[in-house]
């Protein structure tokens, strides 16, 4: 079972239960294949914004220093990302699983070696984030999570265009099995939709 720590342990600006967040994260970690990991979820509950990032994918220690402690996976989440839209300042368990699952799939991808060329989370463009998230959320849905696919599709379109090409790219990313894509595939998907959006439009 994954070992999850939520910091701070007592959230003061929102009515979130840190223990409940940890329990949700533990289940998601097992489901995505990170059940043997130590995970720290850092919640900035002072802001209603919803930005998230992976700060560390963790480590299994160093071969040169076998006694060195393992580095935990670190996720940074602004308080609004876990919030129930119908009940402000209260936790939404589905949204919590959604956010943690999306970030942990990114950890899985970065650990695989296939995403070694990906920029750090803080340097990803919005289009790159959305494309990578589409790959992640398609896998999360197939694990049985309710990820509100229509909302994800619309979000993709707002970043990549309301075009037939963007829809085909979305379907390709969403349906891709775990382990089938690399960072070059995600970058190519972004370039593919950008090329269509930059083409001159025919007059009516």
pLDDT digits (tens, 9 = 90+) for 29-51: 999 999 999 999 999 999 999 99
The pTM assigned to this predicted structure is 0.90
Considering the domain architecture, whether residues 129 and 189 belong to the same structural domain is answered as yes
| Mean predicted lDDT score pLDDT of the chain | 91
**Among candidate residues 82, 87, 70, 89, the one with its CA nearest the CA of residue 28:** 82
Q: How far apart are CA 114 and CA 111, in angstroms?
A: 8
Considering the domain architecture, whether residues 173 and 136 belong to the same structural domain is answered as yes
Q: How far apart are CA 38 and CA 168, in angstroms?
A: 37
- Lowest mean pLDDT, pick from 62-71, 83-92, 141-150, 161-170: 62-71
Q: How far apart are CA 58 and CA 150, in angstroms?
A: 32
**Among candidate residues 83, 70, 102, the one with its CA nearest the CA of residue 44:** 83
Considering the domain architecture, whether residues 46 and 97 belong to the same structural domain is answered as yes
Domain that holds residue 172: 120-198
Considering the domain architecture, whether residues 78 and 132 belong to the same structural domain is answered as no
């Amino acid at each position: 079972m994954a070992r999850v720590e939520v910091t701070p342990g007592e959230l003061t600006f929102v009515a979130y239960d840190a223990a409940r967040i940890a329990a949700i994260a533990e289940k998601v970690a097992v489901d995505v294949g990170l059940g043997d990991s130590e995970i720290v979820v850092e919640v900035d509950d002072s802001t209603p914004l919803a930005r998230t990032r992976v700060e560390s994918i963790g480590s299994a220690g160093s071969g040169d220093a076998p006694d060195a402690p393992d580095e935990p996976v670190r996720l940074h989440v602004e308080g609004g990302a876990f919030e129930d839209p119908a009940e402000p300042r209260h936790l939404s368990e589905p949204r919590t699983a959604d956010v943690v699952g999306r970030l942990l799939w990114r950890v899985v991808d970065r650990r695989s070696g296939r995403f070694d060329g990906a920029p750090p989370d803080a340097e990803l463009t919005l289009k790159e984030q959305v494309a990578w998230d589409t790959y992640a959320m398609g896998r999360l849905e197939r694990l049985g999570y309710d990820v509100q696919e229509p909302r994800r599709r619309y979000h993709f379109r707002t970043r990549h265009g309301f075009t037939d090409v963007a829809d085909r790219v979305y379907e390709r990313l969403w349906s891709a099995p775990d382990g089938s894509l690399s960072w070059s595939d995600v970058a190519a998907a972004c370039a593919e939709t950008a090329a269509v959006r930059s083409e001159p439009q025919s007059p009516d």
